Structure 1
Amino acid sequence: MSALTLPLPIQARVEAMAAGFLQAQGMPPADFATPVGEPALVAADAVSWRVFKNPVGLFIGGVAAVILELAEPRVRAGVWDHTTFRTDPVARLRRTGLAAMVTVYAARSRAEAMIAAVGRRHAKITGLADDGRAYAASDPALLDWVQATASYGFAEAYHRFVRPLSAADRDRAWAESAPAARLYGAVGAPRSQVDWAAQLAAMRSALTASPVVAEFLQIMRQAPALPGLARPLQPLLVRAAVDLIPPDVARGLALWREPGLSPAQAALVRAAARAADRLCLRNAPPAQACVRLGLPADWLYR
């Protein structure tokens, strides 16, 4: 694999759009290039560094993760009642995307500071779910589920639509999420595919259908979540996310009402995801993080 080179004017435009997309309201600008030499929570040769550099995979995996989060009534209430998904979905997505980038690529000290700030906000979020149960966003069991759904969504999207990951690499991706998971308070989050299968089986009876899932998907189809050049693909990427939901969970959530990808559409999504995997944006977090560690900006694309 080699880095994809675009004509200079197009490259500059894409770089500018990518930089703007990661400016999240309510969060300070993130600097991935400093402190020079300081490692991230995981090493640069980690599977996670490859997975998270792909914006198409991140979008698909992020939507799939939220579907699974919204399937758990207490997490659903916390997400839907205490975030701006309904009123300002783009800002919410940018904050989530930036937090993911910081967790993987930022210097360890900066990632730790951001995660601590998230934890302080979570400590204030409590309420009642639609099934009458009380919840707290700092509940370790709920944090474990949120962490697990994110890890599953991102790695599975890369595996399905970018390039297949070996069984060993999939286990590595789970294990690499452990340092951040502990900082978030998700001390029981899965660390392997076997752990994930066990957690999913244990959670299955607790996952319930809700109109919120359909509302979320409709928002994701329509909100200007992607930069302009990629926006025509957005409805297909949402369909791809639906396809990532484990079949038994999808049936329980009545996701048969949501269209998945046709073979031709799946091929188009794979083509876009694989092209994005070769596009090195030098002002984006993966490239900046490489430079911070003394590596070439396009190191992940070689």
Structure 2
Amino acid sequence: MDSFIRKWRGDLRTTFTGHPLAVPDWVLELADGDDPGYHRPGSAVWAVHGSVATIISGIRVLLMQSLHPGALAGVYDHSAFQQDPLGRLAGTIRWIFTVSYGSEAAARQATAKVRQVHRFVHGTYVDNHGAPRSYSARDPELLGWVHAAYADSFVAVHRVWGGAIPGGEDAYVREWAQAGRLMGVIGPPETLAEVKEEMDRWYYSGELRADARLRETVEFIRNPPLAPSLRGGYRVLFNAAVASLEPRYRELLGLRTPRLGPVPLPIVLPAKAVLAVVRLGLGRQSSSEKAARARLRRLGYAA
């Protein structure tokens, strides 16, 4: 049993950081820097991103962002997500946690690296009217969809499986708008109502769509190449992400909440149980948060 638990914890850490045992260097470097960062203890961002419910949020974000054919084309044409999905996941986590817990200088540097990669992510796709459309990962409009889908997902999931947010959901949207501005989003939403307006605008624009490429992507997200020890728990969390979607997006994605015949299966409590086990495996406080608190103490701020 002990060997199984060690293996499971190693698989879990590898999934999120790429390292089964050691803390990655980039996490340790969050203790460096000469400023307190954009976000601090007690912030809405720390409350949301410090919750293990972010695992469900991440699944939901991937599903939502894939609905835009430009965003999906960028991933398909320029990303190794099918060959190295865990590597891509670890890279995304690194950026999110650096902006959340790092110094302002570290957040800007991490974002600059992402934007440098985005310089080469561009091409064309066929829109819903059959016309060729160009896309670019640095296009503020496309970045706006990605950012809005992110904020919508993290708020919706945390509402069910997270705890209280200091200042409420609007505080999280307002604080995380800084990340959008760093990435090049023009006028990112700063309230949940503005996020909803943005999501409605995209939905009724007719630009989102379901096609063969989306169905393939959804199937990959449903069954990623995880270690066998993680697959059962992941399926529960995937079902939770699907249940948290608005019905209109579930329909576009071709998904439905799990049922046994006509009877809906429970979702909230099984997901809470899996998250509790994951929290035991990862620890009560993330290594990123510990490093950030060390930086704050060194600088003389309350940590």
Band of TM-score, shorter chain? 0.7 to 0.9
Please identify, of 209-218 and 115-124, the stretch whose mean Cα deviation from structure 2 is larger.
209-218
Amino acid at match of 1:220: I
Amino acid at match of 2:147: Q
Matched, 1:250 2:250: yes
Unaligned runs of 5+ in 1: 1-6
Contact 1:151 1:174 in 2 (8 A): yes
SS at match of 1:287: helix
Question: 1:272 maps to which residue?
Answer: 274
SS at match of 2:220: helix
Question: 1:209 maps to which residue?
Answer: 210
Contact 2:180 2:188 in 1 (8 A): yes
In 1, distance between residues paired with 2:43 and 2:188?
19
Question: 1:220 maps to which residue?
Answer: 221
Question: 2:293 maps to which residue?
Answer: 290
Question: 2:198 maps to which residue?
Answer: 199
Mapping 1:147-186, distance limit 5 Å? 147-163=147-163, 168-186=167-185
Give 1:282 shift: 5.8
Give the number of aligned pairs.
284
SS at match of 1:223: coil
Cα distance change on mapping 1:130 and 1:59 into 2, 3 Å = farther
Unaligned runs of 5+ in 2: none
Give 1:28 shift: 6.9
TM-score, normalised on structure 2? 0.81
Deviation string, structure 1 residues 92-138 (Cα, Å, up to 9, x no partner): 11111222111211122111101011111112211012322111111
Please identify, of 209-218 and 12-21, the stretch whose mean Cα deviation from structure 2 is larger.
12-21
Matched, 1:62 2:64: no
Cα distance change on mapping 1:259 and 1:77 into 2, 3 Å = farther
SS at match of 2:135: strand
TM-score, normalised on structure 1? 0.81
Please identify, of 151-160 and 32-41, the stretch whose mean Cα deviation from structure 2 is larger.
32-41
In 1, distance between residues paired with 2:50 and 2:228?
19
Contact 1:170 1:193 in 2 (8 A): yes
SS at match of 2:31: coil
Cα distance change on mapping 1:77 and 1:263 into 2, 3 Å = same
Report percent identity of matched pairs: 23
Deviation string, structure 1 residues 11-69 (Cα, Å, up to 9, x no partner): 99848953773148xx97343442266312222211111111223x2221111112111
1:46 to 31, 43, 47: 43
